[in-house]
Amino acid sequence: MEYEKCECGGVVIEKKVRVDYRHGEDIVVFEEVPVGICAECGERYFDAKVLKAMEFLAKTRKDAKKILSVPVMEFSFAY
């Protein structure tokens, strides 16, 4: 897929990355997601079809490769 230049003027290059996608109270982790990433500032650009596919898969949990257990912590400066 081709991307236009980033708002900062940088070149946007497609890479496959891991995306932590929030769906309601849940987080679904997608691997190998095609996304345009600016070589200058790191801004990510998602194609609309990719976003719709992630939304559908997050809703249906279709073909989940594995289930992860994730700790949830409340932030505090007391450490």
**Per-residue pLDDT tens for 20-60?**
999 888 889 999 999 999 999 999 999 999 999 999 999 98
Instruction: Please choose, from the candidates 13, 29, 10, the residue with its C-alpha nearest in 3D space to the C-alpha of residue 68.
Output: 29
* Cα dihedral sign, 63-57-30-49: positive
pLDDT at 5: 95
Q: Are 51 and 28 in contact (CB under 8 A)?
A: no
pLDDT at 61: 80
Q: Round to whole Å and give the CA distance between 27 and 29.
A: 7
Q: Round to whole Å and give the CA distance between 55 and 47.
A: 13
Which CATH fold would you assign to the domain 1-79? Ubiquitin-like (UB roll) (3.10.20)
Give yes or no for residue 79 having a pLDDT over 70.
Answer: no
